[in-house]
Amino acid sequence: GQAVLRRAESIASGAAADGLPVPAARDGLGEALARLLMLSKRCPFPDVREKSEAILSGVQELGIRIPRPLGHGPSRFIPEKETIQVGKEDAAMHTLFAESFATLGRLDNVTLVMVFHPQYLESFLKTQHYLLQMDGPLPLHYRHYIGIMAAARHQCSYLVNLHVNDFLHVGGDPKWLNGLENAPQKLQNLGELNKMLAHRPWLITKEHIEQLLKTEENSWSLAELIHAVVLLTHYHSLASFTFGCGISPEIDCEGGHTFRPPSVSNYCICDITNGYHGVDEIHASPTGSIPVSSTESVCEVEALMEKMKQLQECRDEEEASQEEMATRFEREKRESMFVCSSEDEESAATRDVSRHFEDTSYGYKDFSRHGMHVPTFRVQDYSWEDHGYSLVNRLYPDVGQLLDEKFHIAYNLTYNTMAMHKDVDTSMLRRAIWNYIHCMFGIRYDDYDYGEINQLLDRSFKVYIKTVVCTPEKTTKRMYDSFWRQFEHSEKVHVNLLLVEARMQAELLYALRAITRYMT
């Protein structure tokens, strides 16, 4: 900080000696000031926040413009006053914040939204730390580069920017960032698997695995491949969370701050280029931009609870036959193909992100498009609990355990509340969300009645789920606002945790099954 202040004094005195106006931040000073701005707003340690603020004030007194944050809080979808404010957290959350800051070097916006659910956040941070920083088959710079490749598949500039910085910090070659073709052939070979995992994991076969493991000069070991697969699925699903919760750019990253003064209307063209697409998205009312009467919303909650009660009674009275259960699954899988938003449109990847992957036109496609049939993946034949977990743990020790814990926390997490209601058993609803996501990937549980999904998940909710899971880059604030309109933001974040973990497990199941088939 003191070095920044001395550099600012040098620039200011040099400009004065030349009889010139004091320039805007230059020569790397802007980057340092943005970092200080982040620390002054987001550091969990009060003394660091105060010192950062003091240095920024000192720079400003020299006549040098300091940056200001763009956006309003960690999420574009959640009003800042409804998120947990740094410096106002309780003791348990402060410990989490401090650990996150020590691990990541920042308190990032993902953490500030996930902290609605501290138990999950603790498991998430522990897993991510292990994947990126602890002993493992892959070198550190490979791990961050694979994170960039995975996030870029969904045009997630938020995650790409973070990992570009981390990649360089651990000694990665800057030339690799000019495009995937500049990275080693071994990483380029991973591009096909990255593409299929992100968009059409059901197409992965043991032949794809064999190509990676048996390429003579640039082959992957089984342990390296498991590490890479877990990283790819982690960042595909984290991209879903980033878009699904409207995560804002980090204050010290591109799009998170500006040196321009506020415009009169508090809205200018620079906001558009940084992802703020309309005044209503910036100045959203606390209840969201979808006008709806409170009575109507309350009725939605009551109706959902009544359906849950009726379904429970039906379960107790009769059980459908295996044939009927299979029919209902196929019907739901078929219907999920036709769930799409009226806002659905092709979005072109920006060059800045697309250079990190090949075949930019390759995206999510429903199962039976163009007459293509994909066999149903039966969990009874290959499951995470009985097969995937042990394979991961054998080849990448402890990671199977960490993932298993994270899956279980997300699946079982409950506060027994629904909007304004307390003491509610939400297990039926959570299972419907999880199984609907797996159904979209062709994964079937023989013991589940898929008829329950249509009873519990309305169209606007299905649109949101499918968009966040399959094409997260197309998620809008309107989609977020339009489902579960009377529910708390913490409950909508909870939904996103289910989407993240169900998606990650679905991708892993297809990849691990292909690896198992190759090994046998």
Q: Which residues are catalytic?
A: 156
Q: Where are the beta strands (DSSP E) in 88-223?
A: none
CA 280 vs CA 79, 249, 268, 478: distances in Å: 12, 18, 13, 10
Q: How far apart are CA 306 and CA 312, in angstroms?
A: 10
Amino acid at position 173, single letter: D
CA dihedral for 493, 498, 502, 508, sign (positive or negative): positive
CB 442 within 8 A of CB 435: no
- Write down the number of H helices and E strands in the chain: 24, 6
290's CB contacts (< 8 A; 6+ apart) are: 478, 481, 482, 485
CA dihedral for 191, 195, 196, 198, sign (positive or negative): positive
Q: How far apart are CA 208 and CA 364, in angstroms?
A: 19
Q: How far apart are CA 368 and CA 371, in angstroms?
A: 5
Q: Which residue stretches of 380-488 are H helix?
A: 389-395, 399-412, 427-440, 451-456, 459-470, 477-482
